[in-house]
Amino acid sequence: MKAIMQDRYGSPDTLALGDVDRPVAADDEVLVRVHAAAVNALDWHFMRGDPYVARLGMGFGGPRQKVRGRDFAGTVAAVGKDVRDLRPGDEVFGDADGAFAEYVRVPADQVERKPANLTFEQAAAIPMAGRTALAGLRDAGRAGPGQRVLVNGASGGVGTFAVQIGKVLGAEVTAVCSTRNIDLVRSLGAAEVIDYTRADFTRGGQRYDVVFDLVGNHPLAALRRVLTATGTVVLSGGGVSRGGSLFGPMGLIIRAQVAAKFVRGQRIHVLQTPPAKGLLTALTELAEAGEVTPVLDRTYKLAEVPDAIRYVETEHARAKVVVTVP
């Protein structure tokens, strides 16, 4: 089968379309014929091997996982003998290593049936970004009716989901983005918008029940300054940098984990969202109800994955970038 492969860390030039054996589903897995896959900041970090400390897990001399990509949507091609609730022909979505390929194998408990009202491209945009937004606001932030929620990085892949989910939860959402994305986040349900090119939200007088930080460009003390006395900071990721760092966003995350042990009243939550079918199920229900709609920025072909990742890395992409697999 065709797949985007990588044998050394580096720029998008290290990625190449090649031939690799089609994977075989284990007893508790399904084999999915990929129709669409989405680009995430995680793909960029794996491609670059950044931060360096992460190579202890990814592979020190080069990536252990040779095929890039995580999010996908497609059709079940085969199922393992222990899989009971899926069968060949079912349309599904989820995330697993090796999604930039014609086929991907994935544990059955990490896929869900595709929302009936979405295209494969839209469904592929959901898994990682959608579950991060849902877990960040609903579970970690405990956002609810009448609360004020601020989303820093509201026009990105996770942010566009977070604005919509915050509104669904009944919260009043303030979105932080650049000038060109103001209309976009307003259309998704943001009650207020702060243009970060003109104002620093950490120096304003407003206080929020939840600050969902998807950028990592402010010190933790500054984020806490705009919280209510019992508010919650939820940290997720640190955006895309130029690479070459030892710890990257992990520095902020480690400091936050230490600070969380000593903070009283306010809460600091470092978000970790491993694949979970329950989150995919909830997102499917929201999508089918028309309450959450994936926003797509650009679409590329499988052979153009290097260009897609280069765009995410250098052009400050908004919403989701998707790859089609013919």
Residue 139, SS3 per DSSP = helix
- Residue 173, strand partner residues: 149
CATH for 128-270, among 3.40.50.720, 3.30.429.10, 3.40.50.11720, 3.40.50.11260? 3.40.50.720
pTM of the full structure: 0.91
Confidence of residue 41 (pLDDT cuts 50, 70, 90): confident
CA atoms within 13 A on the CB side of 97: 11
Domain boundaries defined on the chain:
2-125+294-324, 128-270
The per-residue pLDDT for 226 is 97
Candidates 211, 226, 219, 71; CA nearest to 153 is 211
CATH topology of domain 2-125+294-324: Quinone Oxidoreductase; Chain A, domain 1 (3.90.180)
Euclidean distance between CA atoms 259 and 65, whole angstroms: 34
pLDDT digits (tens, 9 = 90+) for 164-183: 999 999 999 999 999 999 99
